[in-house]
A = this chain, B = another copy of it.
Amino acid sequence: MTLGTTLRKSDFLQWVDTLFQGAGLSAALASTVADLYWRATSRDVGHHDISYLPQRLEWLTSGKINSHWDPKLVQQTPSVEIWDVGGALGEASCHFALERSLTLASKTGLGYTAVRHSNHFLAAWPYVEIGAERGFFTLVWSNTDAGMALPGGTTRVLGNNPLGFGFPREEGWIGSDFCLAYSSLGNLNDRRQKNQSIPSHWGHTAQGLPAQTPEELWNGGIDPIGGVKGMSLAILGEMLTGLLAGGDTLDEVKPPAGWNTHNQMVLSWDLSQLGGLSAAQARAQKFYERLHGLGLQRVPGDRSQEAQKKAQKEGVYLSPQFVQQLHEWAKKLNVSLTVGV
C-alpha cells in the first residue's frame, strides 16, 4: 500500500513537471506549470490545486485538449494583445497572457492580454502572485462553463467567472481570487464531502426552494453574489475575456469542462512607471495596516501567504490515495516519481 507523503517543494515541482512532460508538454512549459501548481497548492485551500492534475493529464493524453503550444497573435496595439492558443493547457495559456501583459505594461505603463481557445486555468492566484513579485498591480479574469444560476434560478446556466488581483506591498502582497457565485463548484464539492452546512441565501434546490444542504445546492442552482450584482460582474467577466477577445462566451463554454473554449485576460500596471515601485509598495503597506486597523483580522491574501510560508519550510501533504493515483499516472506515462534526489 502506498503511504501518504509530505512533499518538499523541489520534489513537488519535479513530480508535476515530470507528469506534465510525460503527458506531452515541452520541458519549458511543464516547468512553468509546475511552479503554478506549487503556488496554488501550497496555500492549502483544499481545491483548485494539485487535485486537478490527474484530470489535466487525462485531458492531454486523450487529446481533449492540445499538448502542443503554438499561439497565434490575433490583434495587437501598443497596450493590447489578443492571442488564439488553439486549445492548449489553460495554465500554460494564462501564464503566457501574464507574461505578454507584463511586457506590454513595461512599454506603455499598462498591458492587457487575452487568450482565446484556452482551457480551465486552475485559479487566478498563481498569476497575480507572480505579477506582484515582479512589481506589477495585476488583475486576472477567466470565463468558465456554467457554474451558477441566474439570480433565483434552479439550474446552472452562467459561468461563475473567477477573478483575482494582487498589489505588492513591502512585505508580501495584498490580493485574492474568487468566483462570482456564492460558492465555486470546487468549494461546494468540498462542503458536500464534509457534509457542512451552507447559508440558505446561497441558492435554490432543483425545485426552487432555498437549498439547505450542499447536496441540495449541488443539484440546484447557486446564486451569483448579491443576485443581479454578481450576475452583472460575471457578464463583465465575459466582456473582459471572451467578448473582447472574439472567443467563446456564455453557453458556448459547455459543461462538463468547456474544453478549448475558455478565455482568460491579464491586465497589469507597471508600478515602477507610476511614481516608483517602492513608493507604491509603501502606500500598499500602509493601506494593509489600515485595513487591519478597521477591524479586519485577515486582509485578503494573509491566510494563503501564511500557508505558503509554512509549506515552503515543511512541504505539502498528499493523501495515500492521491499519491497512488499519481504513481498510476506515472506508470501509464512511463515516467518515474522520486523523492529527495
**Chain A residues at the B interface, C-beta cutoff of 8 Å:** 74-75, 77-80, 82, 107-112, 137, 139, 150, 153, 157-158, 165, 167, 174, 176, 178, 180, 182, 199, 201, 225-226, 228-233, 235-236, 238-239, 243-244, 246, 249-251, 267, 269-270, 273-275, 279-280, 283-284, 287, 290-291, 293-296, 299-300
Contacts and interface: CB of A to CB of B under 8 A. Distances in A.
A212 to B, nearest CB: 14
Interface of A is mostly: mixed
Contacts of A176: 232, 235
Contact of A139 (B77, B236, B275, B280): B236
A295 B153 contact: yes
Contacts of A108: 77-80, 108
B244 A137 contact: yes
A139 B112 CA distance: 14
B250 A109 contact: no
Contacts of A182: 226
26 contacts: A74-B275, A75-B274, A77-B273, A77-B274, A110-B110, A110-B112, A112-B269, A150-B294, A150-B295, A165-B239, A174-B239, A176-B235, A178-B232, A180-B226, A180-B229, A225-B225, A228-B300, A231-B300, A235-B300, A243-B283, A246-B279, A249-B290, A251-B290, A251-B293, A251-B294, A267-B267
Query: In the complex, which of the residues A79, A243, A273 has the most CB atoms of chain B within 10 Å of its own CB atom?
Result: A79
